[in-house]
């Protein structure tokens, strides 16, 4: 019931109860989407990990099935951890996943469908040859840092390649294995990539993107390589709990990935999401020519609160992902299928918002909505001056929504209570920095709840765009305890979890605001109430 569970999501993926973490082995088979995920059948905290399984027609509505992979043989008797699916020639799915063996060592296992003619792929059979990859005395692999196989890709030489996350001391790495038959795997002489000081690399993902310097959002199959192709290496850094990615060149003859900008320059390392977001992975969809990103969002509430509500963890809305025309970063946008949940649209005519003004968006269910807003700014002379580079998250914490500025802060107040005792602010602030306009995007949770047991950290990032010539747009998906925001048409994403005590259910309000001295113009505001999806 939604009134005693105000934080349960209406359209973000979650199980009926208990703990969920990483998305595992997403695939499309006979037209159905399959999503597996790390799950604790026994409680709302991490432990007893199995692969739970749900299916969908549209990436929006999900039906649960029985657990697909659970401890049953020595090579996974202490847990079935993360992994990925690969569709083999002939359309046969194969799952590689990490098992925890009787010695608590991390090893890699193979599972295949028991019955390929079952479109639901309910039962999975484990290879009698498991484990297929394991730490030994001769390979120098750390048995507690060897996990999370990627989707495999096939070279013209007939070898499948797969990455396993690892580290040696503080050097994070993606260990490469090769195989002709998907069963006998041989470790390559060197990792595909590694970086000193980054610590354990969890859940690596490696895939090609189209570099066409144009507006195309097309995705590529994982084994594609050649002209106009760049590669993305994503790793989930255990030390920082963020998903970072590098764009670069993959030399398949040498099996080396060379990033344009490496981890050495921490200022340029990009993230999928600058809020709470981890352990993501992508799938390529043949028929639709798109690559879709799935990710896990943990709670920001306390463990006792999680146990009380009986569940913890959600997934973000699946996002289409592609290379920006600059070639310098990726762009993400919620899959179009989500728009099928939109009802009762509210559209505003162009409106000027003066400094200090707040305009309420009425006519939508503000605790469960999809909002798109665009701003036009003119008085660039009023932008605050930034003398030296500051970490954007720190800048957002110092200059939250309540701190008056020049050009901004302007944006949305979501989950706001009538008297503004509670609100979450998603906004832009434009600075003058090195004679250019610098766009800051923030998600300010500092006043999101009167319950101070929650983690209310403010998040932020710079958006690499020119507000003189490009639309300053924001789309925010509001879903009962989720605020998932896309700035600059998907150039920057920030996901936050909030737990208001007053601004819940029908008491939640939505506003557009401007707390700068310069007026700004809203050139578009479209908001929809969101129907409840069928989520498990």
Burial of residue 17 (number of CB atoms within 10 Å: 0-12, 13-18, 19+) = middle
The answer to whether residues 171 and 194 touch, using CB atoms and an 8 Å cutoff, is yes
Q: Round to the nearest angstrom and report the end-to-end CA distance of the chain.
A: 15
Catalytic member of 1, 4, 22, 370: 22
Measured from each CB, the residue nearest to ligand DQQ is 81
Question: Can you tell me which of 98, 108, 300, 461 binds ligand DQQ, judged by CB under 6 A?
Answer: 98
Question: Can you tell me which of 78, 82, 151, 473 binds ligand DQQ, judged by CB under 6 A?
Answer: 82
Minimum Å gap between C-beta 257 and ligand DQQ is 20
Question: Can you tell me which of 9, 18, 38, 458 binds ligand DQQ, judged by CB under 6 A?
Answer: 38
Closer to ligand DQQ by CB, 237 or 472: give it: 237
CA-CA distance, 532 to 536, in Å (whole number)?
A: 12
Contacts of residue 165, defined as CB under 8 A and 6 or more positions apart, other chains included, come to: 145, 146, 147, 148, 172, 173, 174, 175, 200, 201, 202, 203, 204, 235, 236
Contacts of residue 431, defined as CB under 8 A and 6 or more positions apart, other chains included, come to: 383, 384, 385, 386, 437, 438, 440
Number of residues that bind ligand DQQ (CB under 6 A): 14
Closer to ligand DQQ by CB, 191 or 408: give it: 191
Closer to ligand DQQ by CB, 76 or 148: give it: 148
H helix or E strand, kind and range, residue 85: strand 80-88
Q: Which residue has the tokens 């790390």?
A: 38
Minimum Å gap between C-beta 121 and ligand DQQ is 21
CA-CA distance, 195 to 235, in Å (whole number)?
A: 11
According to DSSP H, which parts of 83-193 are helical? Answer: none
Burial of residue 469 (number of CB atoms within 10 Å: 0-12, 13-18, 19+) = exposed
Contacts of residue 111, defined as CB under 8 A and 6 or more positions apart, other chains included, come to: 69, 94, 95, 97, 124, 125, 126, 127
| 279 is a site residue for ligand DQQ (CB under 6 A) | yes
Minimum Å gap between C-beta 364 and ligand DQQ is 34
| 299 is a site residue for ligand DQQ (CB under 6 A) | no
| 39 is a site residue for ligand DQQ (CB under 6 A) | no
According to DSSP H, which parts of 48-140 are helical? Answer: none
Question: Can you tell me which of 29, 81, 462, 486 binds ligand DQQ, judged by CB under 6 A?
Answer: 81
| 14 is a site residue for ligand DQQ (CB under 6 A) | no
| 147 is a site residue for ligand DQQ (CB under 6 A) | yes
CA-CA distance, 385 to 462, in Å (whole number)?
A: 15
| 163 is a site residue for ligand DQQ (CB under 6 A) | no
Q: Residue 22 catalytic? A: yes
Per CB under 6 A, which of residues 225..244 are in contact with ligand DQQ? Answer: 236
SS3 assignment, position 141: coil
| 174 is a site residue for ligand DQQ (CB under 6 A) | no
Closer to ligand DQQ by CB, 147 or 167: give it: 147
Question: Can you tell me which of 14, 18, 21, 316 binds ligand DQQ, judged by CB under 6 A?
Answer: 21
Q: HSE, CB side, 13 Å, CA atoms: give it for residue 220.
A: 22
Taking every pair of Cα atoms in the chain, the longest distance, rounded to a whole number of angstroms, is: 69
| 109 is a site residue for ligand DQQ (CB under 6 A) | no
Residues in contact with ligand DQQ, shown as a per-residue x/- string from 186 to 205 under the rule CB under 6 A? ----------------xx--
Closer to ligand DQQ by CB, 21 or 130: give it: 21
Question: Can you tell me which of 20, 35, 44, 49 binds ligand DQQ, judged by CB under 6 A?
Answer: 49
Closer to ligand DQQ by CB, 270 or 279: give it: 279
| 22 is a site residue for ligand DQQ (CB under 6 A) | yes
Quickly count: other Cβ atoms within 10 Å of residue 73's Cβ.
14
| 478 is a site residue for ligand DQQ (CB under 6 A) | no
Closer to ligand DQQ by CB, 242 or 291: give it: 242
Among 458, 503, 534, 485, which Cα is nearest to 367's?
503
Q: Which residue has the tokens 């990009």?
A: 270
Minimum Å gap between C-beta 532 and ligand DQQ is 28
Q: Across 256-329, where does the E strand assignment appear?
A: 256-259, 270-271, 278-285, 290-297, 311-312, 314-315, 319-323
Closer to ligand DQQ by CB, 303 or 468: give it: 303
Per CB under 6 A, which of residues 53..72 are in contact with ligand DQQ? Answer: none
| 148 is a site residue for ligand DQQ (CB under 6 A) | yes
Closer to ligand DQQ by CB, 69 or 377: give it: 69
Active site residues: 22
Binding site for ligand DQQ (CB under 6 A): 21-22, 38, 49, 81-82, 98, 147-148, 202-203, 236, 278-279
């Amino acid at each position: 019931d939604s009134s005693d569970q105000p934080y349960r999501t209406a359209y973000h993926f979650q199980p009926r109860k208990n703990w969920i973490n990483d998305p595992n082995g997403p695939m499309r088979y006979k037209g159905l989407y399959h999503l597996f995920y790390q799950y604790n059948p026994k409680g709302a905290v991490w432990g007893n990990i199995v692969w739970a399984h749900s299916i969908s027609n549209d990436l929006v509505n999900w039906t649960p099935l029985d657990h697909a992979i659970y401890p049953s043989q020595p090579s996974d008797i202490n847990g079935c951890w993360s992994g990925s699916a690969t569709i083999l020639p002939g359309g046969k799915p194969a799952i590689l996943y990490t098992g925890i063996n009787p010695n608590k060592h991390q090893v890699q296992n193979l599972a295949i469908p028991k019955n390929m003619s079952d479109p639901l792929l309910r039962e999975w059979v484990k290879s009698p040859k498991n484990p297929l990859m394991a730490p030994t005395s001769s390979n120098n692999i750390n048995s507690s840092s060897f996990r999370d196989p990627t989707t495999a890709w096939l070279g013209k030489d007939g070898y499948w390649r797969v990455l396993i996350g690892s580290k040696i001391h503080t050097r994070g790495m993606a260990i490469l294995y090769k195989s002709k038959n998907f069963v006998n795997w041989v470790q390559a002489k060197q990792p595909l990539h590694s970086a000193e000081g980054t610590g354990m690399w969890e859940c690596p993902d490696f895939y090609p993107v189209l570099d066409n310097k144009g507006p195309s959002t097309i995705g590529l199959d994982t084994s594609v390589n050649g002209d106009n192709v760049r590669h993305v290496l994503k790793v989930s850094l255990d030390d920082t709990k963020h998903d970072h990615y590098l764009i670069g060149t993959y030399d398949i003859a040498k099996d080396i990935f060379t990033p344009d900008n490496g981890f050495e320059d921490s200022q340029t390392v990009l993230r999928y999401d600058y809020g709470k977001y981890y352990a993501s992975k992508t799938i390529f969809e043949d028929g639709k020519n798109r690559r879709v990103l799935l990710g896990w969002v943990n709670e920001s509430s306390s463990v006792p609160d999680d146990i009380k509500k009986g569940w913890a963890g959600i997934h973000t809305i699946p996002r289409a992902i592609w290379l920006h025309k600059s070639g310098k970063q990726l762009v993400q946008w919620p899959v179009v299928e989500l728009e099928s949940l939109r009802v009762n649209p509210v559209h505003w005519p162009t409106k000027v918002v003066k400094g200090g003004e707040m305009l309420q968006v009425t006519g939508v269910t503000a605790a469960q909505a999809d909002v798109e807003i665009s701003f036009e700014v003119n008085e660039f002379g009023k932008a605050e001056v930034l003398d030296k580079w500051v970490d954007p998250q720190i800048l957002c914490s110092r200059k939250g929504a309540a701190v008056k500025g020049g050009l901004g802060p302007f944006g949305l107040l979501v989950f706001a209570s009538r008297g503004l005792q509670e609100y979450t602010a998603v906004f832009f602030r434009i600075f003058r920095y090195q004679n250019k306009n610098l766009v800051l995007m923030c998600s300010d949770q500092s006043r999101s709840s009167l319950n101070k047991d929650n983690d209310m950290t403010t998040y932020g990032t710079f958006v690499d765009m020119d507000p003189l010539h490009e639309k300053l747009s924001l789309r925010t998906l509001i879903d009962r305890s989720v605020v998932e925001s896309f700035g600059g048409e998907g150039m920057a994403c920030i996901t936050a979890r909030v737990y208001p005590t007053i601004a819940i259910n029908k008491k939640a309000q939505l506003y557009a605001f401007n707390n700068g001295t310069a007026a700004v113009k809203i050139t578009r505001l479209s908001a929809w109430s969101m129907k409840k999806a069928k989520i498990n």
